[in-house]
Amino acid sequence: MSETEETPPPRTPGREDIWVERYRPERLAAVAGHEDIIPRLQSYVERDDLPNLLFAGPAGTGKTTSAQAIARELYDEDWQDHFLELNASDDRGIDVVRGRIKEFARSSFGGHDYRIIFLDEADSLTSDAQAALRRTMERFSHNTRFILSCNYSSQIIDPIQSRCAVFRFTRVHDEAVEEQIRFIAEEEGIELTDEGADAIVYAADGDMRRAINALQAAAVLGEAVDEETVYTITSTARPEIVREMVTKALDGDFHGARGILAELLDEAGLAGGDVIDQLHRSVWEFELDDRAAVDLMDRIGEADYRISEGANERIQLEALLASLARRTGD
């Protein structure tokens, strides 16, 4: 290297990696926030007697991590040779069942009594594909175990549910989310303020994947991950701003509430669905009387339905605020 050439800056360890994968627990005992579920799964692994499993619950709550941890504990270093992971939202039709799943189940292997097929987002499978999957589960029950993951178990046909042990994953509690992001921040040498940690926990809303991604995204913007950085990077409104907007509407100040809504949509860049979600999460934090809480929940539900059906989100949100202001004045 010539004297005129500059030495490249040192690489920050782990900064270019995807932290969700870098810090994914490899053992069931390390999966956070599910003290009621993990011991039951561990008992299957310890007895090496795994049934078909159905994991249902919101995104980012540890379903995929638990499936991979089961495979790692059963098969050790060879776990990838005995574990097939498919995403049903990519291949929704019957061909994926008749093709890749049957091919994997039929293929020869040694050293273990069964292999595992993990079908993520199984509620995306068509009805015909689920019917074919049911027959495949029956046919290869002697040498294959299925782990299905879904957001809504109601979308899985009853014959499949009856063949599985169902585990319902709830949102990860705030203490577990905070503990994990503080651990990662320490490992990566990131300064995480207390307010920044609280903001990540609020923005994540029980989604561990969202929390870790928010921490990583915020870490590249400055030396410290603080409250302002987190709310900016996650496009999340501060809880006090949402509270002020609702309070103004309930006090009959429609124009003031509408102005705050405009700031959230135009300046903060929030989508209508994001505002609805934060309103719903915050209803019981507003210290409203019963009538006001009922009115707000009623309007939130109506606005959410209309927006999901394609209605103009700004009009629906303004109508929500107008309804609250008008009922207050009645």
Q: What is the pLDDT of residue 233?
A: 87
Q: What is the pLDDT of residue 96?
A: 66
Q: What is the pLDDT of residue 192?
A: 93
| Alpha-carbon span 47 to 12, nearest angstrom | 42
> Concatenated DSSP letters for 189-220?
T-EE-HHHHHHHHHHHTT-HHHHHHHHHHHHT
One-letter amino acid for residue 69 of the chain:
A
285-299 per-position pLDDT tens digit? 777 778 878 888 888
Q: What is the pLDDT of residue 312?
A: 92
Q: What is the CATH number of domain 174-233?
A: 1.10.8.60
Q: What is the pLDDT of residue 128?
A: 85
Q: What is the pLDDT of residue 91?
A: 59
Residues 6+ apart with CB under 8 A from 215: 19, 181, 184, 185, 190, 192, 200, 225
Q: Which residues of the chain have pLDDT under 50?
A: 1-14
Q: What is the pLDDT of residue 252?
A: 87
Q: Domain locations in the chain?
A: 34-168, 174-233, 239-329
Give the 3-state secondary structure of residue 316. Answer: helix
Give the 3-state secondary structure of residue 69. Answer: helix
242 token code pair: 């949402």
| Alpha-carbon span 157 to 122, nearest angstrom | 10
Q: What is the pLDDT of residue 38?
A: 93
Class of domain 239-329: mainly alpha
Q: What is the pLDDT of residue 32?
A: 87
Residue found by looking up tokens 């500059």 in the block: 6
Q: What is the pLDDT of residue 95?
A: 66
Q: What is the CATH number of domain 34-168?
A: 3.40.50.300
**Vertex 216: Cα angle to 267 and 85 (nearest 5):** 110
Task: Report the 10 Å Cβ neighbour count for 48.
Answer: 11
